[in-house]
Structure 1
């Protein structure tokens, strides 16, 4: 099995099995199978425009353009053997031919009976006496597919001396049953010759000519590959549509110069191994086709309109051209600089006029004129996003910050002034617009929280302040002098107001605090420093009791609900250096410990 490796001639025999909605039989002597007027069972055939039986693929025939086209439908017999034959006459002796046919397995791959029996067809070419086999070939097993798959098979053979007719046979190599069901269509016989190409002086196999370059003429050369023919005789032909051909009288050489052409024209040569066969289409083949294609000059591109945009807008210039035409952009109406090739759009970056030129894909034909398209960029307001802070319980002014006098404003709060006053954290946006363009400014606003006092403690003579939150805090116990340190040292006991604020905020938070501490020692020596055991600040508590004892538990000093000061005397006499014990009760809370009296 195989196809002609070179060029073929026009078909000398074609069988398409006709058209129609009724099933018809083959001529007598064409088949050994029985005709079925409806659906063909095993060993039967029909010629039909439908294949909707036995769960087969229901498909149209293969012939292009057919309406209700028929194909030969064969349901294999239970024994293998011949199912189709036809005689073909009008051949030439000692000539190579290609027989081909299209075939499809009608049993779907997902049929209820499974994979099914594959189709397998043998093609045989016999002489007209049916005694000499000239060529044969097998398709091999062709299994069912999920969708119908028409496939073409071919066989090449050479006629014998003195032989002008042959017999084509088709045999089924398989047997009937579930499967081996096929349809055949478009049986064709045609001559098989060398591969023959036509080229111009530039070795092109076709040429595109721009309309404005007409009339046009070129020299063509035919070249065979000598695979089948040992000698070559030519007849040049021309056509206006590539379908209907006429001989060019007297043009039989390898080269041909076309007349001046004003329309698309097709050329080919009939090729024969013997000059007498040039006039017999059953004995010659044809070359590849050389097309001189006239390309109409394109119209200038159609503008999609001038562009008016803001500076930050990337809308391109654009034009429209039909299929098969590309656009090149230039800086001038004539000549100028090529700015961009092969694009219907152009991204301009400056104000001005730009020019679009049409060019055909085939032939590179250029439009007579270029299309002018302009672009104008409008200035946009200049704004800058901001990140701002404001103090708790205060408000802040937000500014659109634009230097355009005619600008309009639209905040996401609904306000339309250049400045707004807000007292809530969040993201604020304002659209700033001039006469033509608008831009959005984003302001991210966060709140600086006031300090929250968690505790104030007396640690010895120091006051230590802690907060629940963090920040750039300042601390004070006077209300006018602030420090960043949260510890105040060497502070006399007493009633204090604790003040706190944020570094950059005005609001102050405060709380009252009684600073009270118990001295570890005192030195009643009259030098003015630590001369007494004083409990400063105790007088600010509502209920107090202070008791001082010596090491033997003797009560030396007692005070209740009053300031407390002891000079180290008992019964008018100086007590000696020693440790002394205290019991202090403040608002029901008891403190015990000892201190030292030093002389």
Structure 2
């Protein structure tokens, strides 16, 4: 396993704290401090601190499965899957110095090792009013005589945090010739008081060697082989980076599960040619700087793992069914496959053209036909032995156009679905199922037009053209003016035959008329009778046939009327009762001169007075 180097400040030690930057061997020593709910003591000689059965005060320690003391974090130990796992808990003494010592035996001479341990500051950053003493530990590796320091390094000050945070620290060292044992020491650089409270767990020693990778002849560090391509064989090469070892000795190993490893007998060269393989297998190589150490798990390190994974041919895709779809339907074809499998789409059951790759779906651009889906594994790109056929047929979509139509009041209108599909079916918003319907009410009508897989909706907005509604008819002089309460493209007539768009009839003789009105685009006519009566302003009795008499046309239609004509001196010239009235401008058979004359007209009790002019 490659570990990233982490450096920390030191205070006069012979090495920095750092991890092995190359490949490590299997752990040769591990201290997890055991498990159990009861606190326990360290073996005699392991520490100079005093054992506490419960809360450890300054200068005391305990080995416990919890840290719920004082105002510390309440945590469990660091060891994974360790029920009631214990950890070493230290409350710093008031004097800096050693608090842990352990002899590590069974090492190999002239071999590089990595020591590591997990550690945590138990005091939250808020403890001691935010002014807690940080933890600060020195790790030391001494030779077995306890006379020579092989390596040491300081963590530096580690302040409290807002939440518990285990951190791993490591130290590299190399054993001397004929040296197979070392002494691990841990010293507290700080002093006790409010703070400097820590826990330790998972102390590990393991060998440290070069980073060693394994490649085949084309540079692969692992391969995925399809079962159709078996048997498989490759030449593998171990490639060290020479960061630790100057010489290298090898022992190749294989594993069926990547966990349990077996030496491959006789394979001690840098290169190794595998036998013909037909199942998944893992390879690694043990590496040591001396031949005598290559098979000693305390002395060697292991390379990266080269995996030969055999990928079974995937099952053919499972079809989600054949389809009949509308030509404008963008829904793609789809299939179902297992995990870590993708799909390629073709136009033939074998060979053919690749239409789309690496997709569980495929849209055939509205082209009917049979398409073929082939499974392909994401690892190894192994394909299924066959392809799954999926048929899709596109049907023509009905084509319709929305409409806005008008119809005349008191009439009906036939509206149509009006589509290009003769075999289509219909469903109107009225419930009708025919291609056309007759309607006589304004509003919006819709129809679903279906051709099997295709359904479209057409809407028809039907607006009513209202008939005119007469508000009033009035006479101004000899003109008749018609007004309506509504608006429209109305036409007006006095005889029912000849119509005009102007609502005023000019220079109309008095009399009883019928007023006709209709909408230009409709046939229904609205009519009303109107008595057009007016008093002329002048007349010209010159026998030319035009305005020869003062004629009150229409007065005869009133039930009661009376007319009197006077000259400017008030002399009564003509007087008549109910019935038509006409005066030719004479008095006692003599022609009267051109002048203004006065009238008094009483119609059904209403009196009209004024004057008119006689012109000659």
Q: TM-score, normalised by structure 2?
A: 0.83
SS of the equivalent of 2:461 reads: strand
Q: Is the 8 A contact 2:150 2:173 kept in 1?
A: no
Task: Return the match for 1:374 from 391, 411, 416.
Answer: 391
Structure 1 window deviating more from structure 2 (404-413 vs 236-245): it is 404-413
The whole-number CA distance in structure 2 between the counterparts of 1:446 and 1:361 is 62
Query: Would the alpha carbon gap of residues 544 and 12 (structure 1) be closer, same or farther in structure 2, given more than 3 Å must change?
Result: farther
Cα distance in 1 for residues equivalent to 2:433 and 2:169? 81
8 A Cα contact 2:314 2:341, kept in partner: yes
Q: 2: CA distance between counterparts of 1:42 and 1:87? A: 26
Are 1:472 and 2:495 an aligned pair?
A: no
The Cα of 1:215 is off from its aligned counterpart by 1.5
Please identify, of 41-50 and 445-454, the stretch whose mean Cα deviation from structure 2 is larger.
41-50
The partner residue of 1:120 within 135, 140, 143 is 135
Partner of 1:151: 167
* Structure 1 portions without partners, runs of 5+: none
1:448-463 aligned at under 5 Å gives the runs 448-463=465-480
- 8 Å CA contact 1:76–1:172 kept in 2: the answer is no
2:500 is matched with 483
1:241 equivalent among 239, 257, 260: 257
Choose 524-533 or 586-595, whichever is displaced more.
Answer: 586-595
* Distance in structure 1 (CA, Å) of the matches to 2:70 and 2:497: 106
The aligned counterpart of 1:346 is 362
Pairing partner for 1:260 from 276, 280, 283 = 276
Contact 2:317 2:387 in 1 (8 A): yes
CA apart distance, 1:224: 2.6
Aligned to 2:551: 534
Residues 181 and 441 of structure 1: is their aligned pair in 2 closer, same or farther, counting only changes over 3 Å? farther
Residue matched to 2:206 = 190
1:492 corresponds, among 505, 509, 515, to 509
- Residues 547 and 308 (structure 1 numbering): CA distance in 2 closer, same or farther, change over 3 Å? same
- Alpha-carbon distance change, 26 to 339 in structure 1, aligned in 2, over 3 angstroms: same
Counterpart mapping for 1:549-588 below 5 A: 563-569=580-586, 574-579=591-596
- Which of 201, 209, 233 aligns to 2:217? It is 201
1:365 equivalenced with 2:365 (yes/no): no
Tell me the CA shift for residue 516 of structure 1: 3.8
CA distance in 2, matches of 1:568, 1:584: 17
Shift of 1:361: 0.6
Counterpart in the other structure of 1:316: 332
- Offset from partner CA, 1:543-597 (integer Å, 9 cap, x none): 6666666667777666666545444445655454445566667677776665544
**Equivalent residue for 1:333?**
349
Alpha-carbon deviation of 1:102? Answer: 3.0
2:529: which partner in 1? 512
Structure 1 residues 4 and 397: CA distance shift in structure 2, 3 A: same
Q: Secondary structure at the match of 2:185?
A: strand
Instruction: State the distance in 2 between where 1:572 and 1:43 align.
Output: 157
Q: The residue matched to 2:24 in structure 1 has which SS?
A: coil
Q: Equivalent residue for 2:464?
A: 447
Q: How many residues align structurally?
A: 596
Task: Tell me how far apart the structure 1 counterparts of residues 587 and 90 of structure 2 sit (CA, whole Å).
Answer: 140
* Structure 1 CA distance for aligned equivalents of residues 124 and 596 of structure 2: 114
Cα distance in 2 for partners of 1:174, 1:539 equals 135
CA deviation string 1:82-116 (max 9, x = no partner):
5544333334455443333334455667x798767
Aligned to 1:426: 443
Once the 2 structures are TM-superposed, how far is the Cα of residue 403 of structure 1 from its aligned partner?
7.8
| Distance change >3 Å, CA 336–CA 160, structure 1 → 2 | same
Label 1:285 to 1:524 Cα distance change in 2 as closer, same or farther (>3 A). same
**In the alignment, what sits opposite 2:11?**
none
Q: Does 1:397 align with 2:383?
A: no
Distance 1:231 1:387, change over 3 A: same
Deviations 1:385-412 (A, max 9, x none): 4433332233333444568777654433
Paired with 1:82 and 1:445, the residues of 2 have a C-alpha distance of 99
Kept in 2: contact 1:137–1:155 (CA 8 A): no
Query: Structure 1: how far apart are the matches of 2:588 and 2:109?
Result: 162
